[in-house]
Amino acid sequence: MPVDVTIPSPGESITEVVVGPWHHGHGDWVEKDEIIVEIESDKVTLEIPAPESGVLDVRAPEGSPLNVGDVVGSIDTEAARPDTAPAAPTAVAAPATTAGNGEQRINSVARKLAADKGVDVARISGTGPSGRVTKSDVLAASETAAPAAPAAPTTPSLRPVRRERLSTLRLRIAERLVAAQHTAAMLTTFNEADMTAIIDLRKQHKDAFKERHGVGLGFMSFFVKACCSALQRFERVNAYIDGDEVEYHDYVDVSVAIGTDKGLVVPVIRNAEALSFAGIEQAIVDLAVRARAGKLTLDEMTGGTFTISNGGVYGSMMSTPILNPPQSGILGMHRIQKRPVEDPDNPGQVALRPMMYLALSYDHRIVDGEQAVGFLVHVRQCLEDPRRLMLDV
């Protein structure tokens, strides 16, 4: 009897998902607990394993919108296991093996690879189960096929147009960004920080820090510590508006913006105010690695009280970051660049110093301008004199 493959719940707040890439195609033999398909929600991507061994029946193609609990496919557990030693792949111009409905049997990975390499799948005889064209077949065909003569350029060929469906994550990001600007009274205040002290401190201690803690000493830990210090003094920047009430937080859960191939994700460092520099750096590395691998959990993506976004890694000089609802504040970091400023050690004299523009966007419904400016000034002071972080002043 076929065993259904259903959509699990990625989290209690998520009811809709989109079918992601299938790791196996219709008619493939799969082993129990082998990953067969991915599903995408607005926050996380989950991998679904095969509940049993058998032949896969794909019922929902990639891109299909489904609800939690819907059936995405099934496993025929009574089907005969195929020969585990397929013949060597052959890339010849033979009639294509087709499924019963007249369509060629090829999994999504092999189809994409064929498109990337310009291989005509109709001219490949598949060596997979039931004659399915596999990745190996495509690779063999691409290696043996003679290069086609380049076509004469035409005017239309010089103006290609491509269309692709927006991912669920990208759609939800768009919705949240637009909603943030429609629901919050968002303003941005700016300041700049002289990064000399931090640069010198890192230069002096980065090797010992790496040897002691097994992680590099980056700029982000200084910013997280500086923001935690400021948020505990300007508590409205760390609060939410909930209806006609203000929800204050006596802890700091810092959301850190991380760019991935699928879009921007903002995982959370819990109780950042209680972490050491090493603890913060280790948390950032762990979150970044798993974010880019699509391994973050729903819990790790929700519940932050304040966000830090580092556009400087992409070369940004200045920006107005958008709030991450329901949060009331977000700090934007930018590129460090030497600029002429008054030398603090020699008043009246100009010196080139490594400067960074800082931007704080905030919800003016809850945070007054005085608090926003005070918050940003405190962050700047902590960055320019990191000893303040150790002394909590």
Q: In a 3-state reduction of DSSP, which class is residue 182?
A: helix
Q: What are phi and psi of 273, to 5 degrees?
A: -65, -20
Active-site hit among 4, 207, 343, 368: 368
Q: Helical H runs in 214-295?
A: 219-231, 277-292
Query: In the annotation, is 213 catalytic?
Result: no
Question: Is the Cα torsion angle 36, 39, 45, 48 positive or negative in sign?
Answer: negative
Cβ contacts of 113 within 8 Å, gap of 6 or more: 119, 135, 138, 139
Torsion of CA 290, 294, 295, 298, to 10 degrees: 110
Tokens 């929902």 correspond to 60
Burial zone of 329 (CB within 10 Å; 0-12 exposed, 13-18 middle, 19+ buried): buried
Q: Residue 260 is encoded by which pair of tokens? A: 């991935």
| Assigned token pair, 298 | 């729903």
DSSP states along 48-97: EE-SSSEEEEE-S-TT-EEETT-EEEEEETTSPPPPSSPPPPB----PPP
Does residue 364 carry a catalytic annotation?
yes
What's 235's DSSP letter?
G
- At residue 21, φ and ψ (nearest 5 deg) are -70, 140
Point out which residues pair with 186 in neighbouring strands: 363
Cβ–Cβ < 8 Å for 266, 287: no
Residues serving a catalytic function are: 364, 368
